[in-house]
């Protein structure tokens, strides 16, 4: 899902590791201060690189933000794919873990800020956010189709996603989110 506008491409494994670390630091900084209040200076400080070094990797704050969000969503989707592919585990267990990888880890005092900064800046993100959302729905639908049948699967998946979104806004902890989500998924799979 990498975008060609994301600055200079990494040339070595060390460059890739450094870029990953910078993007992780950027996400934390954007989550802490919000997109508008975050400066490239703050991101550079958090990433422990110089501001010119940051600009070498990313030509603007918008490019950096888009790359950081893209990296986070790529990780989330990869984790969801891995979890759902493990068909030796019960479907309920796989679905709960898939939702945890997609949304549950963003629940709580600090981590919820990551979701908020993403949700508050849809104009900057466009397809960067929409493509993984569609992919997540497809993955959930495909997993459900095996048990519920192809015809019922899309509406069951959409209902699970709606339940997840509602729970994210109702609960204060990841643990409570997972407990309630497991009940909802179990009911929907019957």
Q: Give, in order, the Cα–Cα distances in Å from 159 to each of 13, 80, 152, 162, 163.
A: 41, 18, 11, 5, 6
Q: What's the Cα-to-Cα distance from 147 to each of 20, 47, 116, 173, 186, rounded to whole Å?
A: 38, 45, 34, 30, 12
Rounded Cα gap, residues 136 and 99, in angstroms: 9
Residues 6 or more apart from 95 whose CB is under 8 A from it?
84, 140, 143, 144, 160, 185, 189
Tell me the pTM. 0.82
| Lowest mean pLDDT, pick from 16-20, 68-72, 130-134 | 16-20
The domains found in the chain, sorted by start residue, are 13-189 (1.10.357.10)
Output Rg (C-alpha) for the chain, integer angstroms.
Answer: 18
pLDDT tens track for 102-160: 998 888 765 656 667 777 777 778 888 889 999 999 999 999 998 777 788 999 999 99
**How many other C-beta atoms lie within 10 A of the C-beta of residue 148?**
19
Reported confidence tier of residue 1, pLDDT bands at 50, 70, 90: very low
pLDDT at residue number 127: 85
Q: CA-to-CA distance for 40 and 44, rounded, in angstroms?
A: 6
């Amino acid at each position: 899902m990498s975008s060609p506008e994301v600055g200079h491409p990494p040339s070595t494994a060390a460059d890739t590791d450094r870029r990953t670390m910078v993007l992780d630091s950027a996400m934390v900084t954007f989550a802490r201060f919000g997109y508008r209040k975050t400066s490239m200076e703050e991101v550079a400080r958090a990433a422990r690189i110089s501001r010119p070094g940051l600009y070498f990797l990313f030509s603007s704050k918008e490019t950096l933000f888009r790359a950081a969000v893209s990296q986070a969503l790529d990780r989330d989707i990869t984790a969801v794919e891995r979890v759902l592919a493990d068909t030796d585990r019960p479907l309920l267990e796989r679905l709960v873990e898939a939702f945890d990888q997609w949304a549950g880890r963003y629940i709580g005092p600090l981590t919820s800020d990551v979701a908020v900064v993403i949700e508050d800046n849809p104009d900057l993100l466009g397809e960067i956010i929409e493509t993984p959302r569609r992919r997540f729905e497809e993955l959930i639908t495909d997993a459900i189709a095996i048990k519920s049948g192809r015809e019922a699967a899309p509406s069951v998946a959409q209902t699970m996603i709606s339940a997840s979104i509602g729970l994210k806004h109702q609960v204060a902890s990841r643990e409570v989110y997972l407990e309630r989500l497991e009940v909802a998924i179990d009911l929907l799979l019957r």
